[in-house]
Each structure stands twice: as C-alpha cells, then as structure tokens.
Structure 1
Amino acid sequence: MACVCQSYLSLLNSFVEGEKPSEVKYKRHEPLTPYLYLDVPGVIDDFYLNIIHWNTQHELLVALTDVLYIWNSESGEANEIYKCSNDIELNTYISSVLFMDDTTVIFGDVFGVIRVIDLMTQRLIMERQMHTDRINSLAKNCCTLATGSRDNTVQLFDTRCEDIVCSELVYHKGEVCGIDFNGSGTYIGTGANDNSVILSDLRMIKPFLSYYHNAAVKAIKFDPINDNIIATGGGSSDRTIKLMNINNNQLINEIKTHSQVTGIVWCDEELMVTHGYPFNTITFYDTQHWNKTGEFDGHDGRILSIAMNNHGIAATIGSDEMIRVWKVCNSNEAILK
C-alpha cells in the first residue's frame, strides 16, 4: 500500500495562468487541456474506489490513503481534515468520499466504517460500522444515503436518524463499486464486480431490472434530464458503455470503447467518459446520436475517478498521482449531476 509522502496537495501548474475557470472557453473540436495540475502523492491505484467529490463552493474532497483533504479551487489552499488512526498491521485507508452538503463530509473506510465530519466545527459527529468490508461507493438523495461495499451489499440509511437503516439491498454477488440515484429519488442503480447493473424501485425496495457487462461496473450515472435513462460502463474485459431506458427495458445504444471505463458524467448535451487501461483517455459523445465528439489525453496512468461540480469544472484523479482540473462545460450552471 502506498503511503502519504506529504501532508498537503501541491499545486504544480496553472495551464491558463491569469484566467479564472469561468473565463476559459473552448469548442469541443479543439484540444481539451487541464488548467490546473495537482500533485497528490498517496493515491491508491484501485479501480473500485471513489476518492474525490465536489461541493457547490468550489471545494474538492480528496482521500489519499489514510488522510482526507479539502482543496479550494479558488484560493488554491488545501487543508487536512481527518487522518485515520493508522497501524501498519491494519493497513487502514479511506475508500470512498462524499459531500453530504457544503459543510458536511462523509467517508467510508476499508473496514466498513462510515464517518461524518461537520466542517463548521471541524468535529467528527458520527462514526458507525455499516458493513463487514470496505465501503467503495457513496451516494445521497435527499435524506437517504446509500453505501456500497465489498461485502456485496448496499445499505440505505436515513441521515436524519443515525440509528436507522432503512433497508439492505442484497442482490449483487460481487463487490459493489458504483451507485447512483435518479433525480426524483425513485430509483437507485448499482454496479458491481459481478458485472451486473441492478435497478431498484425505492418505493417498494425491490429490483425491477438487471443487465450485464463483461467486467465490473463502476461507472454508473442517470441522465439528469430524463429520469429513465441510465449510462453504465464496464471495466477492462468489457470496455463498453451501455445506454438503457429503464422505463421500457430497452437498450438505447451500446458504444464500444478501447479502454476500461472508470467514470461517466452528463454535461450539457454530451456524455463525458474517463478511461483506464490501456489509453487513459477522456472521451465525449453527443447525447442525440451518440457520436464521439472528442477524445483527449487524460493522465500518464489510468484515470481512477472523475467528479464534476455544478459550474462545469471536472476533476480527474489518476494512478500517476495527479489530479487534473478541466473546464468542461461552457455554461455557468452546467446541466449535470
């Protein structure tokens, strides 16, 4: 396991020196280039983890092995907000992170424990054993938190009552590494190392649709405009994006890519996809005809996670121990989720 070599995130370069992100404009046929590079020693090269997330205040949550940071993209400042009580024998690390809101952070660890930190008071306000193994994925809709684990289960948790678990979804036969709610909060989609995608209706806590890739499914995102459309991507042995209409159980499109799919976000009228082995690229597809509109170099190692904020700024973190920050959507308030 890699160890954290520094107690901060180091700003290496500003690609568009002197310009604010909101001023960066481009057309998709032009090269997509990051305007900031961050050196992040301590990144765990693990496909299944989800270790970055934005809030609405231009702050990025980053987990580097056993340390949790918040980096402010406007000021450039990075602050350590939590460090696990580590033991060489235990090999503790943070495996998933999420902003519950702009001032509350939740994260899961390798032992199946979730912790919640109030950023206003800088205090740990909750610590709870949720799973019997590491927590790879976190998602929230309204007051419902979903946690996905290597114990193959998804727990649904009411954030208003810390002692209440709404229900447990025990449908996968492999490590759960991708979770997303649709916009209305009626459906939850989960992807796992058993190569399956399972859609469940939260009104009945019951699965109603499942389909398969040929590898683990970590990349999973509902269309923020159409609640019934979901995009999923498979790992190294699959390299495929599937667009599914869950209202009529119809496959809209199946896109063959050339690399492991590690992340998907919807932005304006495009789908942004990040890749791992072998090319580590970022690709874009238009959401009308599903044609590829661009393919750009991403990282020197595989891209592990992507996060997009509501201003159209994307952050990607790679096994090259770099975070790259990109201006992806031209609109001030991007249509994304």
Structure 2
Amino acid sequence: MSGLKNSPFGKRLRATHQDNEEDGPRRNRQRVNPIFYTATASTTKDVTPESPVTTRDMYGDRFVPSRDAGDMRTSYHLMDESGPSTPSKSRIIPTESDALKEQANAIFTSILHTEVTPPSPRRPTSPQRPTTSSSATTTLPPSTPTRKRIFHYTSPATSANPSTPTRRLDTPTDEAYSMSPVRAESRQLLESPRRQLRSVCKTPYRVLDAPDLADDFYLNLVDWSNTNVLGVGLGSCVYLWTAHNAAVSKLCDLAGSNDTVSSVSWVQKGTLLAIGTLSGRMHIYDANTLQVQRSYNNAHTQRIGALAWNAHILSSGSRDRMVHHRDVREPSHRPFKRCAGHRQEVCGLKWARDGGPLASGGKDNKVCIWDLRGSKRASVTGSSTSGSGSMEDAGGSGSGDAPLWKFHEHTAAVKALAWDPHVSGVLATGGGTQDKHIRFWNTFNGTMLSELDTGSQVCNLIWSLTSHELVSTHGFSSTTAQNQICIWKYPTLNMVASLTGHTHRVLYLAMSPDGETIVTGAGDETLRFWNAFPKKEGGEKKETRLDYGRLIR
C-alpha cells in the first residue's frame, strides 16, 4: 500500500483532493459527465461546503431519471373527469374540430370499463320462507335443522334453482369459443353504427380586403341585411357589398365632417342602414338610393358603439353610458326614452326577435335586460337576487325605468350578445379577456342556465337559424391558440368545429339572411366568408333573401 501512496497516481490523487478542499470555500466546482448529466443553476446553487458533493453524485456509469416530482396519474392522463375543471389560463381552444376525437375517446372509455371492470355475475336470490294464505305476516317458529350433506353435486342443466345461470358449452356463440380479444358487450359497441357528425369546411370560400377596418373591441362595423347586402364601416366611409353579384358601392363618406364610423346596423326588413360615429352623430341611409334619410347630430355626447333595430324603433348605446330609443318615423330628434343602467360604455345591444326585451352589455361587466313595454317584476326598487342572476335599480337618475334584470357574473366587458331564435327567453352573453366565459340566461326568471369557459376573449356571438348551434369569435388568449371561430352545439356545449385563418382578433361577425354563411372581420383588415351551417330543412327560400335584384320592381 505504501508503494501505491508514493506512486505518481497516488500523488496526483492526493493533489486533486487538496485542490478541491482549498477551492471549496471560494467556489463550488463540479465535474460532471457531460453526456448523461447537465449541471443546472439550481444544482450548482445548492452545493455548499456544509454539504459536499460526493464522487457518487458527480460520476456514474448510467443515467437514471428521477420521477419523484412527477405524478403518475397526471403523466399518463388518468385523472378522473369529475375532478377539478381546467383553469381559464391553461384552457386551449383546439385548432380543429374535436368532435370525432371526443366520440372515439368516449367509445374507448366505455370499452375499457367493460373489459377491466366487467359486471359482476348474477347471484342467486336468497330463498324466502313460504307464507300461508291466512296470515302472510305470521313467522314460523324456530326448529332444529335437519341433517344435510355439506357438499352437493348437481349438473348445471338440472339445477333446481332457476335463478342460477346455466352455461351450455354446446352453443357455438359461447364466449369460450370466441376468437375476439374483447367481450361480447364490447364487440356489440364497436360494431354498432356511429352517429354521423356534421362536416364543416375549415377554409373560407371568399376573402375580401377591408382596409382601415378598425381593431377596436368596442365597435360594431359589420352587418348583413335581409336583402343580402353587407354593410362595412371602413374609417370614415361605409361600403356596401352585394352578395349575389359581388358589386361594391360607397354609401357615404364622413371625411368632410372630420368624423369616423363607429357602428352600423341594418333594419330587420328593408333597406335602411343606421350609422353611428365617434363624435356621437347618427345617420340613417337608404341603400337603394344611397341618400341620407335622417340625421341626428346630437344623438349622444360621445361615440356610438352599438346600434339595434326593433321594427321602426332604433336603439343606440354610447360611451356616455346611456341607451337612447328613437322612433325613426317621427321628425323629432329627441329620444322618446332614455335608459341608464350602466356605469361605463355601452358596447353591446340586441333586441329579441319576437319584439320582446332588449339586452345591453357594458364595459362595466354588466348585462341589463330592458322591457320597453312597461312590464315590471315584483319589488323593482332596491336590489334582489333570483338564482344566479341579480337585478339593481337603474340609479335614480329619472331618465328611464330600471332594468328588468341585471346580471353581474361576468368579470370583463360584455360586447357579445345573442338571443336564441329557437327557445324564447334564452340569452347568450360573452365576456372579454379577463372573463373568457359564455353564459346562458333565462330572462323569464333571471337565472343562469349554464356557462362555458372558452379560454379566450369572446368578441361576438350569433345563433344559427337552421340548427340549434352557436357561433363565437375570439381574440386575446392566455395560450397560443387565439383568434378562433368556434361552433358549439347547444345545450350540450360540445364543439362542432373550430375555424382559423385570421391573424388578429375576430372582432366582427354577421350572418347571411338564409342562415348558411357567416362573415367575420378582424384587425388584419380582411373579411372572410365561411359555410358554417347546413341548409334549412324544407328547402323553401324567399326571393328577397337570395336575390337582391328581384326586389326592384
């Protein structure tokens, strides 16, 4: 051993240990195998003179990964579906339809449960004591049990107990002769016909350039009329695009008055187009003659971001927090009713299709339901809560009645509003970046029916006219998936399709009068047309909805 200590190898070994002891207090140096181990900042930081690194920690002939920090159930996606819901910040809207994948996963889960945990065999029922006809409740007195054999052997075919299942091995369909690796129940599930899922084209059939299309969440610059004409506000101009011949015409130019278009809205039936501006002016144009029919130079004190028609009633929502209602048949420029229910800008307005209540959404994260017909709930004053919805007084301003309902569940601005055309009294609302939820309300009793976490800013909502489905457009997201156009099935809220193509927030949405096509607009200054819904059952289509030219007599 003395020879080994005095050998050159022993001297180098002692010199190495001395260098490590001298350099230890000054710096923590590690020699690692660069192939199997990489020294991280945290590893170097944790090495101290009090806890020296041993040779076994630094050197090794193979690398064994540590699974101490991992969760087996999480790593292999074995979490139960009944567990906690995914938080909004990690929710990702898929880039394509997940309907087929969800159907396949459901079938796989059913087969897995059938194969791994098969149903327990039927147990024979316990024999019951016979009862006499005279007294069914009379119990027999206890008696000494008779002598019986402990083991009793009988043939399954001649079993005395009819509840005991019998197995006949001479049957060709018995599981003992099956060549399939799964049970008969699983084979029946696999061989059963599948529900045909609706196919949605993932690419737009037409893309139009829309220069100067504002990238502003609080504006509404695209609307599609019942005469199949698309109105778009671009900067200080409003353009009309006729669908049947793709003709483009300029309706107006507000550059002379140093103003900018902030909202457009078509009347339900006819050719009148209402235009709101940043300065608070409002104009009504006739698309046939391209002439202005009426102007309200002092409609609001600030910009008009939302417009909605109810026959001859035109409602406007502004940044001044007010909702004004005007009868366009009257020459007076003053509104016949003012509604004050929001504390910040009104950015969404939608009338119910049947001429019922009006829904308004604001930057104050509130949704108000107004009924101009004068119907009121019990105890309108003060505040009350019913279910998940709540109502407050409009605020004693004397400028209008209190809202019928006022919902407070959203945590961001509410621009997206849509009334269900198939079920009366159902309203869908969507929240902004800090909310990311679509909520469904019953406006008859003020309760929330359901909610959906989309994981992304909800910019617009619109219901299909041909199927019970809902379209939502999205913007900012906390994940990489954003700027989506999603189609949801109601009331299951399963995703039918997810359409992508826009590179900016999809802030504008409109639907064709036949209900088959939707058009979306974004800050990337493009308009994209999508075949989103099937044709209406029956095939009956009105001429006024298909051919704009036939309206001219």
Shorter-chain TM range is: 0.7 to 0.9
Cα drift, residue 298 of structure 1: 4.2
Q: Is contact 2:201–2:532 with CA below 8 Å preserved after alignment? A: no
AA in 2 matched with 1:308: M
Q: List structure 1 segments (4+ residues) > 6 angstroms apart after TM superposition.
A: none
Contact 1:66 1:86 (8 Å CA) reproduced? no
Structure 2 counterparts to residues 239-318 of structure 1, below 5 A: 239-267=436-464, 268-278=467-477, 279-312=482-515, 313-318=517-522
Task: Identify the range of structure 1 (157-166 vs 258-267) with the bigger mean alpha-carbon deviation.
Answer: 157-166
Corresponding residue pairs, total: 306
Match runs of 1:1-337 below 5 Å: 28-86=198-256, 90=258, 92-100=259-267, 101-128=269-296, 129-163=298-332, 164-204=334-374, 205-212=401-408, 213-267=410-464, 268-278=467-477, 279-312=482-515, 313-332=517-536
Change (3 A) 1:250 1:108: same
Residue deviations 1:164-200 (CA, integer Å, cap 9, x gap): 5220011100110101111222211000100100111
Secondary structure of the equivalent of 1:147? strand
User: Which whole-Å CA distance do the structure 2 matches of 1:146 and 1:167 have between them?
Assistant: 10
* Deviations, residues 80-124 of structure 1 (Å, cap 9, x unaligned): 11000347xx5x210000112432211000011110112233211
Residues 200 and 532 of structure 2 are in contact (CA less than 8 Å); yes or no, is this contact kept in structure 1? no
Aligned counterparts of 2:199 and 2:241: Cα–Cα separation in 1: 30
The 3 A distance-change label for structure 1 pair 293 and 228 is same
User: So what's the TM-score if we normalise by structure 1?
Assistant: 0.87
Matched letter for residue 121 of structure 1: T
Quick one: percent identity of the two aligned structures? 33
Whose strand proportion is higher, 1 or 2?
1
Give unmatched runs, 5+ long, in structure 2: 1-195, 375-400, 542-553
Displacement of 1:317: 0.5
How big is each residue's C-alpha offset from its partner over 1:257-279, in whole Å with a ceiling of 9 and x where there is no partner? 12110110110210111111130
Distance in 1 (alpha carbons) for counterparts of 2:331 and 2:508: 28
Give the Cα separation in 1 of the matches to 2:458 and 2:501.
13
**Contact 2:488 2:497 survives alignment (8 Å):** yes
Do the aligned residues in 2 keep the contact of 1:311 with 1:329 (CA within 8 Å)? no
After superposition, the C-alpha distances for 1:30-64 in whole angstroms (9 at most, x for unaligned) are 44321100011111110010001111222100000
Q: 1:124-160 deviations in whole A, cap 9, x for unaligned?
A: 1211021000000111112211100011110011121
Q: Is the 8 A contact 2:284 2:294 kept in 1?
A: yes
Q: Quote how far apart the aligned CAs of 1:280 are.
A: 0.4
Report the AA paired with residue 135 of structure 1.
I
Deviations 1:204-239 (A, max 9, x none): 254121112111000001111223100000011111
CA distance in 2, matches of 1:285, 1:44: 27
Cα offset, 1:296, TM superposition: 2.0
Higher helix share: 2
C-alpha RMSD of the superposition = 1.8
SS of 2:301's partner is: coil
Q: Residues of 2 paired with 1:246 and 1:121: CA distance?
A: 40
**Greater Rg by CA:** 2
Q: TM-score scaled to structure 2, two decimals?
A: 0.53
When structure 1 is superposed on structure 2, of 26-35 and 132-141 the one drifting more is: 26-35
Q: What are the ranges of 5 or more consecutive residues in structure 1 without an aligned counterpart?
A: 1-25
Q: Is the 8 A contact 1:28 1:294 kept in 2?
A: no
Pairwise CA distance, 1:72:
1.1
Alpha-carbon separation, structure 1, partners of 2:229 and 2:197: 26
